[in-house]
Amino acid sequence: MAVDGHERRLRGRRPRGRHPRADRDRVVRSPTAVRTPAKAGDATWPPSAEAGQKTRAPSTVLPFQSLETLSDLVRIVAERYGEREDLLSIRRHRRTDSLSARECVDAVCRTAKALESRGVAKGDRVALFATNRPEWHIVDFACHLVGAVSVPIYPTLNAPQVAYILLDSGAGWVFYDNKAKRDLLSGIVPHGAGEDDGDGNEQRGLRMVALDADAAVEGGTDLEALIAGAPPSTDADLAAFSGRVGQDDTASIIYTSGTTGDPKGVVLSHRNFVSNILACQELYPLGEEDQALSFLPLSHVFERTVDYLFFYRGVSIHYSPAIERVAGLMPDVRPTVLCSVPRLYESAYLRIQNLFASQPPARRRLIGWALKVGKRRAERGGAALQGLIADRLVFRKIKQRFGGRLRFAISGGAAIANEVAEFFDAIGIRLYQGYGLTETAPVLAVEYPGASRRGSVGKAAPGVELRIADDGEILARTEGLMQGYWKKPQDTAEAIDLDGWFHTGDIGRLDDDGYLYITDRKKDLLVTSGGKNVAPQPIEQMLITHPAIAQVVVVGDGYPYLNALIVPNYAEPPAPFTGMDPSELRQDPRLQELVQGVLDRANERLPAHERVRRFRLLERELTLEEGEITPTLKVRRKIVNERYRDVIASMYLKSQRVS
């Protein structure tokens, strides 16, 4: 069933009294308009006449093929990067398999023809349930060529979650990567013969296609077999697919990982994605000489849009199926650009801090001096000679851990501690922060060369308008804004007001120069029994940067004061705890004292109502498998609060002390 008609009805009408018009404060727009189709009036920042200035972001727009839909990316790769021998690569069975640009385009076209010959039509939903690999993008682009709607599924989801997405989206096909997923899918969804969906409509069942031949279901097929009969693609084949989809046709339905409740399907058009690609390509220097690592799940909109940008600029992409393998891949892949969520940077920071702490006193003094020089250089420039010495004696070895060629890194998906960002700046790896949501495909604000301010998430991206509502909520208007939530018109109307402002659910502020600062998720705000509103994330970020601490969840909603659940760094405990097992480490009085000292120092910098009085050390990490964090490593506070209800309550008993 095509989704075009449904898309046009998604926004619907806003229920009365839901969202007042966002009239408060000024509107901050992007520094430059995107090339398709942005209004000229949106091209200045700041927009108010009182500001007395207009600035534009540095433009690096390429004077070549136009980009209107994601299917155009296939043509652009063929025409501009056809000679690339290593466009895509992945390490398998101790060897690196590479795919040239021509091979990639050929595989995409043959897959598209195979899907079309088997009845896949414009608007049909095709699910992707696999880790990052070249075939993920091959199937995704094939869907774009025929006009099908790709439905990515996080590879770590369990059977009920996968079943919900497949049934809610109405996917007729699913591509999966291994035997474990084959068994999961076989156990929850019928394949082959049709069945009744409960509403009197016969369902044709789910067509399952394995990306690896040995994972195919009995009597089923795999990707190689699916396209085996198709002849090599030609320019005529690519031309035949041209114009199949328009900018406002649906490209994908992405189900939010959700920190609360069931996931919602976010309906994103080709225009939504393309506006982000064109906006970001203006801000960052990227080209064919660059090498990137793709390891965040491609089911997450951040990684997916970033990879689309890489295709557009000819960046070579190496895939890692798991974030745990990234550290080992860095020296071999030697990336020049890195995009990740804060957890990766924070983990690297903690490992390096532990390494520093294990050095002899003289070496630690040298490291301390080098970091001071690096921070001064990052903040004010200068210190050229001292900077060279610091690089040679200290920073060069650290940067080798990241391959030695990393020019800059981007952090998105959640806030990152200033201390971590400043550390990377100091060692010579510029770390830019960004902000966005699945519903905006995703970018709303970013730091970029020439526009960076620590503590902020940057300025409005090209083509984006930002505004702060009366209650502090961040509102946004952008061509990246979703068409709506799949089959949820009421939720759509509640999220997008009559003036087209999307209510992000995040609390923040804009400074006089247009930099955006995120305070917390609106739903995450804690309200103490004394009526004080507290944002937990900034407090957690102050604690998480200590090498002895892996995870923190601040609690206190409905209580008179704040407490914290803390997970020690069981994986890599700092000296003097190296080698201790988790139970021994958790009970060690020295760790209790150390964590209390970290809390005391943080509390000195906080107002009284934001201070953490007590804490508990948890026995294990919060994990994705237990449903306590999302696939993008955000804490599911509701689940954590319920699971540790008794532990939390015990901290508020007067007889209990810190432990």
181-226 confidence digits (pLDDT tens): 999 999 886 654 333 344 433 345 789 999 999 999 888 899 999 9
Given the structure tokens 């089923």, which residue do they identify? 220
- Please compute the mean of the pLDDT values over residues 76-99 and round it to a whole number: 92
646 φ, ψ (degrees, to nearest 5):
-70, -40
Q: Is residue 595 within 8 Å of 549, Cβ to Cβ?
A: yes
CATH number of the domain located at residue range(s) 525-650 in this protein: 3.30.300.30
Q: Is residue 170 within 8 Å of 122, Cβ to Cβ?
A: no
CATH topology of domain 71-245+286-336: Rossmann fold (3.40.50)
- Please compute the mean of the pLDDT values over residues 532-543 and round it to a whole number: 90
CA distance 656 to 650: 7
- DSSP-assigned beta bridge partners for residue 241: none
Question: What is residue 530's predicted lDDT score, i.e. its pLDDT?
Answer: 79
Over residues 442-466, the pLDDT tens digits come to 999 999 999 999 889 999 999 999 9
- DSSP-assigned beta bridge partners for residue 478: 464
Distance of CA 169 to the CA centre of its chain: 22
- Please compute the mean of the pLDDT values over residues 394-414 and round it to a whole number: 93
Distance of CA 432 to the CA centre of its chain: 14
- Please compute the mean of the pLDDT values over residues 602-612 and round it to a whole number: 92
Residues 166/167/171/176 CA torsion (nearest 10 deg): 20
622 φ, ψ (degrees, to nearest 5):
-75, 130
Extract the tokens encoding 61: 């727009």
Question: What is residue 166's predicted lDDT score, i.e. its pLDDT?
Answer: 96
CA distance 431 to 362: 29
Over residues 217-270, the pLDDT tens digits come to 888 899 999 999 788 888 888 889 988 999 999 999 999 865 456 789 999 999
CATH number of the domain located at residue range(s) 4-41+339-404+407-522 in this protein: 2.30.38.10
CA distance 460 to 591: 43
Fold match, 4-41+339-404+407-522 / 71-245+286-336 = no
Residue 387 or 37, more confident: 387
User: Does the structure show a pLDDT above 90 at 299?
Assistant: yes
Over residues 557-569, the pLDDT tens digits come to 989 999 999 999 9
CA distance 583 to 601: 26
E strand map for 400-534: 408-411, 430-436, 443-446, 459-460, 464-468, 473-478, 484-485, 502-510, 516-521, 526-527, 533-534
Q: Is residue 628 within 8 Å of 636, Cβ to Cβ?
A: yes
Going by C-alpha positions, the residue among 585, 544, 596, 577 that lies closest to residue 357 is 577
User: Does the structure show a pLDDT above 80 at 293?
Assistant: yes
Question: What is residue 205's predicted lDDT score, i.e. its pLDDT?
Answer: 76
Going by C-alpha positions, the residue among 238, 265, 329, 240 that lies closest to residue 292 is 329
Q: Which of 86-90, 146-150, 216-220, 403-407 has the lowest mean pLDDT?
A: 216-220
User: Does the structure show a pLDDT above 60 at 433?
Assistant: yes
Q: How much helix, strand and coil, in percent to the nearest 5, is found in the chain?
A: 35, 20, 45
Question: What is residue 256's predicted lDDT score, i.e. its pLDDT?
Answer: 87
Instruction: Supply the pTM of this predicted model.
Output: 0.81
Q: Where are the domains of the chain?
A: 4-41+339-404+407-522, 71-245+286-336, 525-650
Q: Is residue 629 within 8 Å of 578, Cβ to Cβ?
A: no
Question: What is residue 190's predicted lDDT score, i.e. its pLDDT?
Answer: 63
Q: Is residue 414 within 8 Å of 457, Cβ to Cβ?
A: no
Given the structure tokens 């200068």, which residue do they identify? 382
User: Does the structure show a pLDDT above 60 at 33?
Assistant: no
Question: What is residue 229's predicted lDDT score, i.e. its pLDDT?
Answer: 79
